[in-house]
Amino acid sequence: MKGKVNGDARPTALSYPGQALVALAGFLSILFVPAVFGISSLRWTFLGIGIGLISWSLALWVTRRRRGAVFESEFVSISSHWVQACVQASILAYWAWFVPAVVAQVPLIVAQIFFMYALDALISWTRGRTWRIGFGPLPIVLSTNLLLWFKPEWFAFQFVMLTLGALGKNFITWERNGKRAHIFNPSAFGQFLIAIVLILTGLTKDLTFGKEIAASFEPPHMLIVIFLGGLVVQCLFGVTLITFSAAGTLCLFSLAYHWIYGTYYFVNTNIAATIFLGIHLLLTDPATSPRTNVGKIAFGAMYALGYAVLFRVLDTYEVPTFWDKLLPVPILNLLVPWIDHVARSGLIGRVNLAWESFARPRLANMAHMACWIGLFSLWFATGYIEGPHEGSSITFWKRAVLEGKPHAGNSLVMAAGSLAEGRGSAAAYNELGLICFEGVLVKPNHARAAEFFDRASDLGDPHGTMNVVSQFLFYNERLSDLAVDQAFVRLESLCEAGFDGPACWLLARAHEIGRGRTLDRKRALELYMRCDATNPYAAKGIARIALVMPVSRQVLTHVVRVLEAGRSAGDAESCWYLAFMSLSGVGGARDEARARALLEEACSLGATKPCQALLSPTLPAFTMPDAISVPPLATAFPLP
């Protein structure tokens, strides 16, 4: 897109870099924003960069003064820059309306804009050129901040990333259509280089908020907001075919995968807001995309397929998948001349020529936009977007895992993570805890499981509360003593409220052994008796207590029935309790012969203690069995 010079055609000449110093002053002024100054790492980052830019300015001023040179600048308005900036700013504003973290980032975004203006000026003057003041830095900064933020202690890398983009724009160029042009989309280029480093070092999660951005970039109707903003860019710059091709390819790919496997390639959405943003903003820079119609179609399709491949590859190697929409862009930028060359050659070239000759470019673009609007409207009307998605269900993916569907395990993890971190679902956090605890779909990590269980408990999920207590009672694992204490308090409320789950049983077990709660067998007995009549864990708890203190015969009659059912099912622990109840006359008449028979049965089931007890002519007093049966961890998404 050609630039338009406003005002006097002659550049303004100054004896000192005053305009750059204004941008630098604006950058340093952000330092005094409390949210910035109050964080030591940010404070030192701003001071260090400010000193570096001031030193560069002074050195440049001294050098130019000795040569008698001046600092020239001119205002240049390139419409693609300010239009893209306006669209990006509107998307940022809409996102910020729903996500307070975006509002908190605004001072840092403003600081980056000032930084890019100062950097752009200094690079131009260092190269002995006129600084073309325009809107160019805005889309680079805004696009970058729609995709990636570094954490405060590492925020210096945010400026490194922007610097790499600026350097790429200024120094990595080629001859295209008779004029020099930058090869790479500037905002994508800097992020691409940083992404490679972070992926190779495995530091993405430690240094950035990339995962949090991807999780929060799902406000209501975000696809519509991006779509409407994209129409402006498409109308003015004729890039509709790129977006249309990329979106259409993703749609066809997803539908084909679902038809073949019965599940969803992109897990819980047909088109995520993040990739929708990518196909509207990362691909549609007129300077770094194809000029031919066929080339634009190929460019969009290649991006969609590259994204699909990277989505699976990154997930397989446990690399954060939010990089998938970014990594293909610089590679495709390099292929642009080749794509346009193929589009102008042979049979494809004749098709392209006929297509481009059919109508004037503006009229043709209107037709392309009509097709794109029609496709998007069809998606909306059918619920393909903005509608409920089966892949958002954890139960759906748990069933897919049982059925052995391809990639179902990874998809279950991703679906639970999306619901937990994107929508704050307490039940999903609990499911993530189960996944980490069981260690089937991911490497076992009980410490991480404790974090997820505690998060679920804090958010009010009863299953998370029970799992915090279970992990503490049976595995001696916990996030902290405070987390366990808070979970016990919530558990007592659940039990008092008659929650249909093992809440009372877990409390009873805690009182029975004096772990997490005072040792109080009477209280334990009372709590065991509140449990469901068919609860085998409660029945075993009552049996253990009955063997050390009196329990009513009526209660024991029921307990014996439950234990007999366990015995019939081959449970050695039930046989153990029944044997010593017979030996002690608990719940019925004393019967040593029956006790021995029950111990022989338990021994045949593989238990060690019954076998040892039978070696003695006189049966020993009751002790705990080989192992106490532990209920499975609780979930809100059980499968039959």
Q: What string of H, E and C letters represents the secondary structure of 417-485? A: HHHHHHHCCHHHHHHHHHHHHHCCCCCCCHHHHHHHHHHHHHCCCHHHHHHHHHHHHHHCCCCCHHHHH
Q: Categorize the per-residue pLDDT at 436 as very low, low, confident or very high, splitting at 50, 70 and 90.
A: very high
- What CA–CA distance (Å, rounded) separates 412 from 432? 9
pLDDT tops 80 at residue 1: no
Residues of each domain in the chain carrying CATH 1.25.40.10: 388-499, 540-627
pLDDT tops 90 at residue 252: yes
Per-residue pLDDT at 179: 82
Give the count of beta carbons closer than 10 Å to the beta carbon of residue 352: 21
Write out pLDDT tens, residues 548-599. 999 888 889 889 999 999 999 999 999 999 999 999 999 888 999 999 999 9
Per-residue pLDDT at 629: 87
Q: What is the mean pLDDT of residues 416-436?
A: 94
- The label of the residue with tokens 């600092």 reads 71
Per-residue pLDDT at 533: 79
- Phi/psi region, residue 178 (left: phi>0; alpha: psi -120 to 50; beta: rest), is left
pLDDT tops 80 at residue 434: yes
Write out pLDDT tens, residues 273-315. 999 999 998 888 888 999 999 999 999 999 999 999 999 999 9
Write out pLDDT tens, residues 174-214. 987 778 889 999 989 999 999 999 999 999 999 999 989 99
pLDDT tops 50 at residue 8: no
As beta bridge partners, residue 132 has: 74
Which CATH homologous superfamily contains domain 388-499? Answer: Tetratricopeptide repeat domain (1.25.40.10)
Q: Work out the mean pLDDT of the chain and round it to a whole number.
A: 93
Q: What percent of the chain has pLDDT over 90?
A: 82
- What CA–CA distance (Å, rounded) separates 186 from 57? 24
Write out pLDDT tens, residues 58-78. 999 999 888 888 888 899 988
pLDDT tops 50 at residue 118: yes
pLDDT tops 50 at residue 5: no
Per-residue pLDDT at 589: 86
pLDDT tops 60 at residue 9: no
Q: Categorize the per-residue pLDDT at 3 as very low, low, confident or very high, splitting at 50, 70 and 90.
A: very low
Per-residue pLDDT at 70: 85
> Does the 540-627 domain belong in CATH 1.10.10.10?
no
* C-alpha closest to that of 639 among 390, 392, 429, 396: 396
- The label of the residue with tokens 């990594």 reads 327
Q: What is the mean pLDDT of residues 257-271?
A: 96
Per-residue pLDDT at 536: 93
- What CA–CA distance (Å, rounded) separates 114 from 24? 6
Per-residue pLDDT at 281: 87
Per-residue pLDDT at 6: 45
Q: What is the mean pLDDT of residues 262-268?
A: 96
